[in-house]
Chain A
Amino acid sequence: MRYLARRSAHAVLLLLAISVFSFALLQWAPGSFFDSMRLDPRISSQTVSGMRAEYGIDRPFVVRYARWLSSMLKGEMGFSFAYGTSVGPLLCVRARNTLLLTSSATLLAWLLAIPIGIWGAASKGTWGDRACGMTMSALLTIPDLLLALILLLLAVRTGWFPVGGMVSAGVGGVDFWSRVADVARHLILPALGLALATLPILVRHIRSAMIDALESPFIGAARGHGIPRARLLFRYALPAASNPLISLFGFSIATMLSASVIIEVVLSWPGLGPLMVQAILARDVYVVIGVVMLSSVFLVAGNLVSDVLLFMSDPRIRVE
């Protein structure tokens, strides 16, 4: 319990540090939101400088940070230049959608990766293992964007899946369960894309951790006792291999979040991704910081969970 409290306090400090550093980084980036407006022949430079003054982006760093922090405490999370509103409500709905996508993709990825990885380790060196390794490295060489496009092409050609969005047109009126089914249908493609994007990394780590575990003497002993193969793999070897896998789980969340940006843009999933991409390119800085802070919260929480799991699962660590 004390461990958890200490880690949570650290997490808060960490988030503060992330916000300061993000602010500093954004400060250095060239260009500002209002620059591209100056390229519009219809807008004069006086108007643009008026806007700059209005939004206070020429104020000193400390002042802007303090203002942002106070708006953070109020739940506004700063002000979006592009939308002319506070960032908080903009992120709220989209964060929920991103969370839905990444959590179902995480689930899917681990559900696929654990059996594949274990099977690969158990049948190491066979043709099946090699074919599996080949598929995984093929997946690894395909950029996420291309993967999303391939899935889209598949959807267009076959007509099995909706080709983007989160709900079909005109489902507003129908009952709750068919709405859920509709969202689930739309979820298949992006979740699959995201799971496939992270799958090779997971499989490779699980396979290598399992190989290590299977080669340790106690498994040999267990095998000697005639324990059935399935029980050997899942009951004895898997827990022994779990240590690096739990660490991996913590930041598979981070990988998911960064991969989800591209998947969301291409498959028009209404999450944080499209908002983030636009905000980065348009230098809508407070939206960027808002998304960064949100994903940091996910990331830190993921690592916290994985550390606590590690703490609980591995008695050797608990000694300290």
Chain B
Amino acid sequence: MKRRYKLWATFAVLAGFHAAILFAGFLAPYSFSAQDRDAPYAPPSRIHFFDSHGTFHARPFVYGMKDDPENYGTYRVDFQQIYPLRFFVTGAPYKIAGLLASRTHCFGTAPGHVFLMGTDGYGRDQFSRLLYGGQISLAAGWIAAAFSILFGAIIGGLAGFYGGWLDDILMRGGELFLALPWLYFLFAVRAALPLQVAQWQVFLLLVVVIGLIGWARPARLIRGIVMSAKERNFVTAARAFGASDAYLLRRHVLPQAYGVMLTQMTLLVPQYILAEVTLTFLGLGVGEPMPSWGSLLASLQQYYVLASYWWMFLPTVLLIPVFLTYYAAADALQERVKSVAL
């Protein structure tokens, strides 16, 4: 009973995350590309209920900010300007899931700005970009990871189950895949593509390229397990009863590798989201101004960001619970699969 509860709980949290990302247009106060050139690297806006005189405001508000004359590029809070936070405000137009057009945003201020996680070097709202960025990254990460695991399971399963020359060829093929300078392959892929690559093409590319390059590792792991699993007593027994190879693989051998597969999957998703950073460098990622979690992380990899703009790390900090929930879900699933299989 407790197990089932845990599984559903993690799934509910994940559903919440995904809904927030799907409804990014509504939850985000600004468009992902809106630049406020007077506010590059602005720190997060604090939400207040009490003003500087100690008076209580029923409606929360943010203070305005002004340039700090002593330190170029930094800001001071302007206590004179109070912008009350409003809900269901009208702002930049957006579409939910590419279908539902609207202009209503969950919250916002007018005039003034509310930057929950500060802004980047263009003065773009980080919170909005985080929500929008998940749309591409999560989907691409998951589909690519599933792709890799599927491929890896087929190849690793065959190699481990049949052994002999098939094993040699498939596994050496995997090593070949791991060793090749893929960066150059990607250079070539980019050169073969037209100058401007459409958004959906980028998405497909991400999935196919990352998924295809990544199968070799899971394949090797799964093969190791299959190799020992096929010699276990109950498998030998089933074989003696005349079970076909396909049946054995599907029902008895591969299920023993589910644990490793799930572990791999949950590890691959964040890795693949990060892999997009490399692809963006090659012009294969989503280009500016479209955000992705990969590009958000890439913008952090500079010393001055680390040393000067701590709020740029807020999105990363927020990614950790997301991934943790995935791991929890994977663990719960693993237990469930095991209890069903045994």
Contacts and interface: CB of A to CB of B under 8 A. Distances in A.
Q: Do A and B come from one complex?
A: yes
Interface of A: 10, 13-14, 17-18, 21-22, 25-26, 28-30, 133-134, 137-138, 140-143, 145-146, 149-150, 152-153, 200-201, 204-205, 208-209, 211-212, 215, 243-244, 246-248, 250-251, 254, 280, 288-289, 292, 295-296, 299-300, 303, 310, 314, 316-317, 319-320
25 contacts: A10-B168, A14-B175, A22-B180, A28-B191, A30-B188, A30-B191, A141-B270, A141-B323, A142-B316, A145-B301, A146-B301, A204-B266, A204-B327, A205-B221, A209-B260, A243-B228, A244-B260, A247-B220, A251-B220, A300-B175, A303-B171, A316-B231, A316-B232, A317-B227, A319-B231
A204 B259 contact: no
B181 interface: yes
Given A18-B180, A29-B187, A248-B221, A137 B175 contact: no
A22 B188 contact: no
Contact residues of B: prevailing secondary structure: helix
B331 to A, nearest CB: 8
A199 B187 CA distance: 30
Contact of B263 (A208, A289, A310): A208
Contacts, number: 150
Given A137-B270, A243-B224, A299-B175, A150 B277 contact: no
Nearest to A18: B179
A215 B164 CA distance: 31
B310 to A, nearest CB: 12
B224 A244 contact: yes
Interface string B277-315: 100000000000000000001101111001100000000
Contact of A204 (B223, B263, B302): B263
Contacts of B180: 18, 21-22, 25, 292
Given A244-B224, A316-B231, A153 B307 contact: yes
A200 B271 CA distance: 11
B149 interface: no
A149 B224 CA distance: 36
B225 interface: yes
Interface string B248-266: 0000000000011001001
A140 B271 contact: yes
A262 to B, nearest CB: 9
Given A29-B191, A153-B306, A320-B163, A141 B327 contact: no
B228 A317 contact: yes
Interface string B141-183: 0000000000000000000000110001001100110111111
A295 B179 contact: yes
A18 B181 CA distance: 9
Interface string B54-83: 000000000000000000000000000000
A128 B290 CA distance: 39
A314 B226 CA distance: 12
Contacts of A143: 274, 277, 297-298, 300-301
Given A21-B180, A299-B179, A140 B270 contact: yes
Contact of A243 (B225, B267, B334): B225
A91 B324 CA distance: 41
B82 to A, nearest CB: 37
B288 to A, nearest CB: 19
A208 B260 contact: yes
B217 interface: yes
